[in-house]
Chains A and B, each alone.
Chain A
Amino acid sequence: MTGVFHWFIIFFGWGSILLFVILTVYKIYRIATLPLNLRWEVYPVPHEPKERRTYGGSYMEQTNWAQKPSRPSLLAELGEMVGEIFFLNRVRKYNPYGLWPLSLAMHWGLYLLLAWIALLTAAHWIPIPEPVASVTGGVAFVLGMFGSLGLIVKRATDKSLSLYTAPVDYFNLAFLAAIFGLGLLSWAIGPGFLHHQAYLVSLITFVPAHHPAAVVAMFFTLQIFAIYMPLSKLIHYAMKHFTFTKILWDDAFMVKNSRNDRRIMRQLAYMKDWSAPHIGQGKTWLEDAQRAPAVDQGKQ
């Protein structure tokens, strides 16, 4: 039975990673394959040249802009995104409820947790000083625990937040707190992170082994979280790519015979069935838009 369980640990570990990848790709695919939306940008758009980006200007500040070359700076866009991912800049600047330090701690707890796993695994094969992984893991668990518990307390006690916080939101934070808490517990049992490293090596090398219960519990919780995350709104880290680069910063104008041009051509052939009296029934978007104004009302 013990042997079966040890094999289960390995297969569940790999299964959770596989499911995480499949579900994440599926969720991204579903959004990516939605129809091309109309332009709906909001300025400042970070890929504008620096002289305009600083005050939120756009290429439309010029005359004859459709005939002028536009060179969006993908590096600047990336920089803005990095600021959001690693420093939560918008939360820091604009959130009035004191969420930033807690949210930053929770996010960095997660980032360092992933780094810790990578370091611990790599250290089995390449020489990495032991304190590097230990400090990374310790800081990850402490920060993550502080952040996720702090956010639970904050959400429960601030009226402006609690009104909008559903039980599932508390569950998500509690889930994270459980991972970080088990991490701290298993670390406390010790020695250091040796058992955690053995767990990871066993997983990667497909060699079943016995692990302390606290270590197994921590990794099990993390693996279940990996399966759950793409199914929840916690996958917002991936969806930010779409909200920002495909909507709020997407200022690319239509060029005849371009890929977007052809996509819109296809989408205009979609049939709509909105029921209001002023909407043309049984018509595609194109047919409806093309109707001469007065034909609609029977008076030309």
Chain B
Amino acid sequence: MSQRPIRIRDVAKVGSESLVILDSQDMISLAPLEQIPLEKPRDKWLESYDFSLDGFSDFDFPKPQTPGDQKKFVQAFLGGLKKLFDPQNNWTFLKALQLSMDYCMRCQTCSEACHTYLASGQQEIYRPTFRSEVLRRIYQNHFTPAGKLLGPLVGADVEVTFETAWRLLELSYRCNLCRRCAAVCPVGVDNALIAREVRKLFSQEMGIAPTELLKKGSRAQLEVGSTTGMNPAGFKDTISFIEEIIEEKTGRNLQIPMDRKGADVLLVHNAGEFLSWPENPAAFAILFDAAGIDYTLSSEMVGYDAVNYGVWFDDVELSRVALQHIQIAKKLGVKKIVVGECGHAHKALCVIADRAFPGDLSVTEMPRESCLPLLRDIVRSGILKLDPQRNNFPVTLHDPCNVVRLMGIVRPQLEILQAVCAQPLREMTPHGVWNYCCGGGSGFAIMDKLNFSEWRNGVSARMKVRQVIDAFQNVLDPEVHKYIVAPCSNCKGTLREAITYYGLKEKFGINYTGLADLIVNAMIDLPRPYLEWEPKI
């Protein structure tokens, strides 16, 4: 890299000039693919929007232009920062935040755990500690006696300009929150948490978050019923459509149970599956029917969409959505909630919301579980007649961070693949709890305003593309059809986009699928293969 080395305090540089210029030539190689140059922001965007971090942004709303507005922006930012350290306002994560802010030893052990930092060719601004250090220095400067008294001597040397605050906002959306960095930290400091807390500050104090996550995300889910914009009537229509798909693909005339009181299981899918990959909820219906699982879906608002985007940026939205999920399950009188193939929904409902709701809403009163152990048990039970030869193609597994590293669910999906695939699994390196994020984690999969998707495909998904190519290294012939199995909607969405961006399907014959789809594909009593190389939808 020929650019001047970045210093932490450079984030305060006034003006709209980007701190770094990204060049794909500096990034890790994706050989045998050629490096694809990253597209620059369009000229017409530069007048209205801010690209002053790295030339990329998802924030499609005009930046404050007048000094007065910029001053208000900075004041609101500092007000929010103060609230982050207040027990009443941030009881949810204050302990973790305080420890991570105060006890980072700046050893940089976390750096090489970060796929974005590595894939970008070690761009300083993507180092896990860079954004944390910016926040830490601002915090010290404004809120700690040592920082106020000793300033730069204790590192409190970052001036808070409008540009500082804005670049910090952008920086918080350059981390996938995969928390691989936290897993290697010798002190247990969590730089991903700090990124999330910055996001939270902007959302909860200033109402600023990517449109896809707040306005069209959690707000839409709570107002309309789903982040997809699908209301309950639309959901019921979609289920009828999925029943038709099942009949068409399998010849089975199934009626997917809906709002059935007293069922054993409330199954909740990421609603994006119904629209983008209806074969996946259809596969669940086929499997549960064949296995005799007593389950139901809910058609109540929020109840048919497992997503909980608040887990990425806003504790209030997180708690609102999670509470709806649990209350709907209580109302139906089910014995437990099972979350479909959606990683962040797994973590939100099973782990984070676990400690948000006491008493009758606690997990002992309304258990919340992953679908993966249940699918594993179904496959193991022998109730399904499965022929691995039906899945006789090279397969690799993408481990969703939320499911493996953040929940410790590692083996069920492996055991399923061993049971339903003819060829040995081609493990990625690294895999399991040490996997790399797909690059779409923490909302990036659905963020596509301005030129953000270019950054996701070119930078944050880059390491995963490298891993996929490596996993299929000796079978890259496009005539040999290969699948990446990704039991997570957002991972699938990211892989879909990356496969298109890099032309992996045409050049190497690489496609992707969900896990339930692959199990159904192995069922011998189906008239034809369930997986379709060229999806109809």
- Cβ-defined contact, A278 with B317, below 8 A: yes
Asked if A75 lies at the interface with its beta carbon under 8 angstroms from chain B, I say no
B48 to chain A, nearest CB (A): 22
Determine the distance from Cα of A159 to Cα of B7 in the docked complex, in whole angstroms. Answer: 10
Q: Known: A256-B362, A270-B87. Contact between A96 and B76, CB under 8 A?
A: no
Contact code string A48-74 (vs B, CB < 8 Å = 1, else 0)? 100010011111111111110000000
Please, how many angstroms separate the alpha-carbon atoms of A259 and B324 in the complex?
25
User: Is the C-beta of B39 less than 8 angstroms from some C-beta in chain A?
Assistant: no
The residue in A52, A254, A260, A288 that gathers the most chain B C-beta atoms within 10 A of its C-beta is: A254
Is A44's beta carbon under 8 Å from chain B? yes
> Bound state CA distance, A45 and B351, in angstroms?
14
Binds A, one of B16-24, B182-190, B465-473, B483-491: B182-190
Chain A residues contacting B360 (CB-CB under 8 Å) are 256
A254 in complex: contacting residue of B111, B222, B324, B357, CB < 8 Å: B357
Residue of B354, B355, B362 with highest tally of chain A CB at under 10 A:
B355
Q: With the chains together, A89 CA to B113 CA distance in Å?
A: 15
B92: interface (CB < 8 Å)? yes
Q: Is A125 an interface residue (CB 8 A)?
A: no
What residues of chain A lie closer than 8 Å to B411, measured between beta carbons? 55, 57, 61
> Which residues of A have CB within 8 Å of B359?
256-257, 261, 265
- B411 nearest CB across to chain A (Å): 6
A242 interfacial contact with B, CB 8 Å: yes
Contact A253 B89 (CB under 8 A): no
B188 close to A243 (CB less than 8 A): yes
Tell yes or no: B480 within 8 A of A by CB: no
User: In chain A, what residue has the closest Cβ to B101?
Assistant: A233
* In the complex, chain B residues whose CB is within 8 Å of the CB of A260: 355, 358
Partner of B109, one of A90, A163, A243, A271: A90
- Among A43, A233, A271, the one with the most B-chain Cβ atoms within 10 Å of its Cβ is A43
Interface flags for B104-117 (1: CB within 8 Å of A; 0: not) read 11111111110000
B79, B94, B108, B222 interface centre (most CB from chain A within 10 Å): B108
Q: How far is the CA of A61 from the CA of B374 in the complex (A)?
A: 9
B205 touches A275 (CB 8 A): yes
Q: Which residues of chain A have C-beta atoms less than 8 A from B88's C-beta?
A: 270-273
Q: Return the contact of A233 from the options B92, B105, B219 (Cβ within 8 A).
A: B105
Pairwise interchain contact B108-A37, C-beta atoms closer than 8 A: no
Q: Which residues of A contact B316 (CB under 8 A)?
A: 272, 274, 278-280, 285, 288-289
Of all chain A residues, which has the CB nearest B359?
A: A256
When chains A and B are docked, how far (Å) is the Cα of A56 from the Cα of B433? 6
Among B255-263, B283-291, B401-409, B525-533, the stretch in contact with A: B401-409
Which residue of A39, A64, A91, A262 contacts B107 across the interface (Cβ within 8 Å)? A91
Q: How large is the interface on A (under 10, 10 to 19, 20 to 34, 35 or more residues)?
A: 35 or more
Q: Check if A91 sits within 8 Å of B358, measured CB to CB.
A: no
Nearest residue, chain B, Cβ from A241: B188
Asked whether A240 lies within 8 Å of B365 as measured between CB atoms, the reply is: no
CB of B475 within 8 Å of the partner chain: no
Q: Is B320 interfacial (CB 8 A cutoff)? A: yes
Q: Which residues between 177 and 231 of chain A lie within 8 Å of chain B, taking CB atoms? A: none
- 1/0 contact trace for B163-200 toward A, CB 8 Å? 00000000000000001001111111110010000000
Name the residue on A nearest B183 (C-beta): A42
Segment touching B, from A10-18, A112-120, A165-173: A165-173
Complex CA distance for A272 and B87, rounded to whole angstroms = 9
Are B432 and A56 in contact (CB-based, < 8 A)? yes
Are the C-beta atoms of B408 and A48 separated by less than 8 Å? yes
- Contact B111 A96, beta carbon cutoff 8 Å: yes
- Residues of A near B179 (CB, < 8 A) are 42
In the complex, the chain A residue whose C-beta lies closest to that of B184 is A94
The closest CB in chain A to the CB of B350 belongs to: A60
A84 & B99 in contact (Cβ 8 Å cutoff) = no
Q: What range describes how many residues of B lie at the interface?
A: 35 or more
- Closest B residue, CB atoms, query A277: B207
Name the CB-closest residue of B to A288. Answer: B316
- When the two chains form their complex, are residues A39 and B433 in contact, meaning their CB atoms are under 8 A apart? no
Residues of B within 8 A of A62 (CB): 373
Which residues of chain A (119-157) have a CB below 8 Å from chain B? Answer: none
CB contact under 8 A between A294 and B410, given known A56-B432, A275-B205: no
**Please, which residues of chain A bring their CB within 8 A of the CB of B113?**
94
Most B C-beta atoms less than 10 A away, residue of A39, A278, A291: A278
- Expressed in whole angstroms, the Cα–Cα distance for A82 and B194 within the complex equals 27
Mostly, the B contact residues are: helix
| Contact of A243 with B107 at beta-carbon distance under 8 Å, contacts A39-B351, A168-B154 already known | no
Asked whether A61 lies within 8 Å of B369 as measured between CB atoms, the reply is: no
- Residue A3, interface by CB 8 Å: no
Query: Per a CB cutoff under 8 Å, which of B89, B301, B336, B433 touches A55?
Result: B433
> In the complex, what residues of B have CB within 8 A of residue A239's CB?
99, 102-103, 187
A73 nearest CB across to chain B (Å): 14
Asked if B323 and A289 sit within 8 Å, CB to CB, the answer is yes
Would you give the shortest CB distance from B78 to chain A, in whole angstroms?
Answer: 12
CB–CB A273/B364 < 8 A: no
Most chain A CB atoms below 10 A, which of B154, B207, B362: B362
Query: Is the Cβ of A265 less than 8 Å from the Cβ of B183?
Result: no
Q: 1/0 per position for B402-443, CB-CB distance to A under 8 A? A: 001111111110000000000000000000111000000000
A63 touches B323 (CB 8 A): no
- Judge whether A41 is part of the interface by a CB distance below 8 angstroms: yes
Report if A26 contacts B (CB, 8 A).
no
B91 located at the interface, meaning its Cβ lies under 8 Å from any Cβ of chain A in the complex: yes
B25: CB under 8 A from chain A? Answer: no
If A34-B94, A37-B94, A278-B214 touch, does A42 touch B405 (CB 8 Å cutoff)? yes
User: Could you tell me the distance in whole angstroms from the C-beta of A167 to the nearest C-beta in chain B?
Assistant: 5
CA distance A278 to B89 in the complex (A): 15
Q: Point out the residues of chain A lying under 8 angstroms from B433, CB to CB.
A: 43-44, 55-56
Query: What chain B residues lie within 8 Å of A271 (beta carbons)?
Result: 88
Alpha-carbon distance A90/B5, docked complex (angstroms): 28
A94 touches which one: B8, B109, B222 (CB < 8 A)? B109
A-side contacts of B183, CB under 8 Å: 42-44, 248
- A contact residues vs B (CB 8 Å cutoff): 31, 34-45, 48, 52, 55-67, 84, 88-91, 93-97, 99, 103, 159-161, 163-169, 233, 235-236, 239-240, 242-244, 246-248, 251, 253-257, 260-262, 264-265, 267-268, 270-280, 285, 288-291, 293-294, 296-297, 299
5 A–B contacts from the bound complex (CB under 8 Å): A44-B408, A66-B364, A165-B106, A273-B83, A279-B204
Known: A38-B315, A94-B110. 7 other contacts (CB 8 A): A57-B411, A60-B407, A63-B377, A96-B112, A99-B107, A247-B99, A275-B205
Which B residues lie at the A interface, using CB under 8 A? Answer: 5-8, 76, 79-80, 83, 87-89, 91-96, 98-100, 102-113, 124, 127, 129, 133, 150, 152-155, 179, 182-190, 193, 203-208, 214, 219, 221-223, 301-302, 315-317, 319-320, 323-324, 336, 350-352, 354-360, 362-365, 367, 369-370, 372-374, 377, 404-412, 432-434
